Amino acid sequence: MGKAAMPSKAVLFTGIMLQSSVDLDEIIALLTGKFGPIDRVFGPVQFLHTEYYENEMGRNLQKAYCVFERYIEREELPMVKIYTNSIEERYANNGMRTVNIDPGYITRDKLVLASTKDFYHRIYVSQGIFAEVTLHYRKGAFRFFSWTYADYKDPGVLKIAEAARARLVKSIRDGLPPKSAG
Protein backbone atom coordinates (compact mmCIF):
# COMPACT_ATOMS: atom_id res chain seq x y z
CA MET A 1 0.00 0.00 0.00
CA GLY A 2 1.29 3.44 -0.90
CA LYS A 3 1.58 6.13 1.73
CA ALA A 4 0.32 9.64 1.23
CA ALA A 5 3.12 12.20 1.02
CA MET A 6 3.35 15.87 0.21
CA PRO A 7 4.70 16.59 -3.29
CA SER A 8 7.73 18.77 -3.90
CA LYS A 9 7.18 22.45 -4.51
CA ALA A 10 6.73 23.75 -8.04
CA VAL A 11 7.91 26.76 -10.04
CA LEU A 12 5.27 29.46 -10.51
CA PHE A 13 4.53 30.30 -14.15
CA THR A 14 2.18 32.67 -16.03
CA GLY A 15 1.17 33.30 -19.61
CA ILE A 16 0.00 36.89 -20.12
CA MET A 17 -2.03 37.78 -23.22
CA LEU A 18 -2.90 41.44 -23.70
CA GLN A 19 -4.07 44.15 -26.02
CA SER A 20 -1.48 46.63 -27.21
CA SER A 21 -3.21 49.30 -25.09
CA VAL A 22 -2.23 47.46 -21.88
CA ASP A 23 1.22 48.03 -20.42
CA LEU A 24 2.88 44.63 -19.91
CA ASP A 25 5.30 46.13 -17.38
CA GLU A 26 2.32 47.25 -15.28
CA ILE A 27 0.89 43.73 -15.26
CA ILE A 28 4.28 42.24 -14.42
CA ALA A 29 4.66 44.76 -11.57
CA LEU A 30 1.35 43.60 -10.09
CA LEU A 31 2.42 39.96 -10.37
CA THR A 32 5.89 40.50 -8.93
CA GLY A 33 4.42 42.59 -6.14
CA LYS A 34 2.40 39.56 -5.10
CA PHE A 35 4.65 36.64 -6.08
CA GLY A 36 8.19 38.00 -6.11
CA PRO A 37 10.82 38.40 -8.83
CA ILE A 38 10.71 36.85 -12.26
CA ASP A 39 13.47 34.44 -13.25
CA ARG A 40 12.94 34.63 -17.01
CA VAL A 41 10.52 35.86 -19.66
CA PHE A 42 9.72 34.78 -23.20
CA GLY A 43 8.06 37.48 -25.29
CA PRO A 44 6.04 39.42 -25.74
CA VAL A 45 5.32 37.79 -29.07
CA GLN A 46 2.42 38.27 -31.42
CA PHE A 47 -0.39 35.84 -30.56
CA LEU A 48 -1.51 34.22 -33.83
CA HIS A 49 -2.55 30.75 -32.67
CA THR A 50 -6.34 31.11 -32.58
CA GLU A 51 -9.13 33.59 -33.22
CA TYR A 52 -10.90 32.45 -30.01
CA TYR A 53 -10.11 35.68 -28.13
CA GLU A 54 -10.87 38.15 -30.95
CA ASN A 55 -14.54 38.77 -30.07
CA GLU A 56 -13.64 39.73 -26.52
CA MET A 57 -10.10 41.10 -26.75
CA GLY A 58 -9.74 42.18 -30.38
CA ARG A 59 -6.91 41.49 -32.81
CA ASN A 60 -3.16 42.05 -32.68
CA LEU A 61 -2.80 40.48 -29.26
CA GLN A 62 0.58 39.94 -27.63
CA LYS A 63 1.57 37.21 -25.20
CA ALA A 64 4.44 36.93 -22.75
CA TYR A 65 5.38 33.95 -20.60
CA CYS A 66 6.96 34.49 -17.18
CA VAL A 67 8.74 32.05 -14.90
CA PHE A 68 9.02 33.29 -11.33
CA GLU A 69 11.91 32.67 -8.99
CA ARG A 70 9.32 31.58 -6.49
CA TYR A 71 8.52 27.99 -5.73
CA ILE A 72 4.96 27.35 -4.58
CA GLU A 73 3.10 24.61 -2.84
CA ARG A 74 0.90 23.05 -5.51
CA GLU A 75 -2.26 23.71 -3.50
CA GLU A 76 -1.60 27.46 -3.88
CA LEU A 77 -2.65 27.34 -7.54
CA PRO A 78 -6.33 28.29 -6.93
CA MET A 79 -5.27 31.34 -4.91
CA VAL A 80 -2.91 32.38 -7.70
CA LYS A 81 -5.67 32.01 -10.32
CA ILE A 82 -8.13 34.00 -8.21
CA TYR A 83 -5.55 36.79 -7.90
CA THR A 84 -4.80 36.82 -11.64
CA ASN A 85 -8.55 36.90 -12.34
CA SER A 86 -8.77 40.02 -10.15
CA ILE A 87 -6.13 41.69 -12.35
CA GLU A 88 -8.13 40.72 -15.46
CA GLU A 89 -11.26 42.26 -13.92
CA ARG A 90 -9.37 45.42 -12.94
CA TYR A 91 -8.22 45.95 -16.54
CA ALA A 92 -11.53 44.98 -18.18
CA ASN A 93 -13.24 47.53 -20.37
CA ASN A 94 -17.07 47.39 -20.42
CA GLY A 95 -16.95 43.82 -19.14
CA MET A 96 -14.50 42.71 -21.83
CA ARG A 97 -11.01 41.59 -20.91
CA THR A 98 -8.01 43.50 -22.19
CA VAL A 99 -5.62 41.10 -20.46
CA ASN A 100 -5.81 37.33 -19.92
CA ILE A 101 -3.45 35.74 -17.41
CA ASP A 102 -2.95 31.97 -17.35
CA PRO A 103 -1.14 30.96 -14.16
CA GLY A 104 0.31 27.55 -13.57
CA TYR A 105 3.28 25.70 -12.25
CA ILE A 106 6.17 23.60 -13.49
CA THR A 107 7.38 20.43 -11.79
CA ARG A 108 9.91 17.78 -12.74
CA ASP A 109 7.37 16.01 -14.90
CA LYS A 110 4.74 18.52 -16.04
CA LEU A 111 3.48 22.02 -16.70
CA VAL A 112 0.04 22.58 -15.16
CA LEU A 113 -2.31 25.46 -15.98
CA ALA A 114 -5.22 26.71 -13.89
CA SER A 115 -8.66 27.33 -15.38
CA THR A 116 -12.14 28.33 -14.28
CA LYS A 117 -13.61 26.01 -16.92
CA ASP A 118 -14.24 22.30 -16.42
CA PHE A 119 -13.55 19.86 -19.24
CA TYR A 120 -12.80 16.15 -19.61
CA HIS A 121 -9.03 16.61 -19.16
CA ARG A 122 -9.22 18.95 -16.16
CA ILE A 123 -9.65 18.13 -12.51
CA TYR A 124 -11.23 20.27 -9.84
CA VAL A 125 -8.75 21.52 -7.24
CA SER A 126 -10.72 24.01 -5.09
CA GLN A 127 -12.37 27.45 -4.93
CA GLY A 128 -13.95 27.05 -8.38
CA ILE A 129 -10.59 26.36 -10.03
CA PHE A 130 -9.62 23.41 -12.23
CA ALA A 131 -6.14 22.24 -13.21
CA GLU A 132 -4.90 20.83 -16.50
CA VAL A 133 -1.64 19.06 -17.28
CA THR A 134 -0.71 20.98 -20.43
CA LEU A 135 2.78 19.57 -21.03
CA HIS A 136 4.55 16.49 -19.73
CA TYR A 137 8.30 15.91 -19.46
CA ARG A 138 9.61 12.73 -21.04
CA LYS A 139 12.92 11.63 -22.57
CA GLY A 140 14.63 14.96 -21.94
CA ALA A 141 11.95 17.33 -23.23
CA PHE A 142 8.51 18.72 -22.57
CA ARG A 143 5.89 17.13 -24.81
CA PHE A 144 2.29 18.05 -25.52
CA PHE A 145 -1.14 16.44 -25.60
CA SER A 146 -4.02 16.69 -28.08
CA TRP A 147 -5.56 19.42 -25.86
CA THR A 148 -2.38 21.48 -25.41
CA TYR A 149 -2.89 25.06 -26.59
CA ALA A 150 -0.85 25.79 -29.73
CA ASP A 151 1.16 28.56 -28.08
CA TYR A 152 2.42 26.14 -25.43
CA LYS A 153 4.01 24.11 -28.24
CA ASP A 154 6.15 27.11 -29.22
CA PRO A 155 9.91 26.43 -28.94
CA GLY A 156 10.37 29.61 -26.88
CA VAL A 157 7.77 28.52 -24.32
CA LEU A 158 9.24 25.02 -24.18
CA LYS A 159 12.71 26.49 -23.67
CA ILE A 160 11.77 28.57 -20.63
CA ALA A 161 9.73 25.69 -19.19
CA GLU A 162 12.74 23.40 -19.55
CA ALA A 163 15.03 26.00 -17.94
CA ALA A 164 12.62 26.35 -15.00
CA ARG A 165 12.45 22.59 -14.65
CA ALA A 166 16.26 22.34 -14.71
CA ARG A 167 16.52 24.94 -11.92
CA LEU A 168 13.96 23.03 -9.85
CA VAL A 169 15.66 19.66 -10.41
CA LYS A 170 19.04 21.13 -9.45
CA SER A 171 17.53 22.59 -6.30
CA ILE A 172 16.02 19.22 -5.37
CA ARG A 173 19.27 17.35 -6.15
CA ASP A 174 21.29 19.81 -4.07
CA GLY A 175 19.00 19.03 -1.16
CA LEU A 176 18.00 22.65 -0.82
CA PRO A 177 14.37 23.26 -0.14
CA PRO A 178 13.06 25.37 -3.01
CA LYS A 179 12.66 28.89 -1.69
CA SER A 180 9.22 30.35 -1.35
CA ALA A 181 8.61 34.07 -1.34
CA GLY A 182 6.00 35.97 0.64
Distance of CA 54 to the CA centre of its chain: 21
pLDDT tens across 1-18, in order? 889 888 889 999 999 999
Q: Give 46-50's long-range contacts (Cβ < 8 A, gap of 24+).
A: 47/17, 47/151, 49/149, 49/150, 49/151, 50/149, 50/150
Residues 81-123 have pLDDT tens digits of 999 999 999 999 998 999 999 999 999 999 999 999 999 999 9
C-alpha distance from residue 162 to each of 82, 84, 166 (Å): 26, 23, 6
Q: Would the pLDDT of 49 be above 90?
A: no
Q: Is the pLDDT of residue 147 over 90?
A: yes
Q: In this predicted structure, what is the pLDDT of residue 6? A: 85
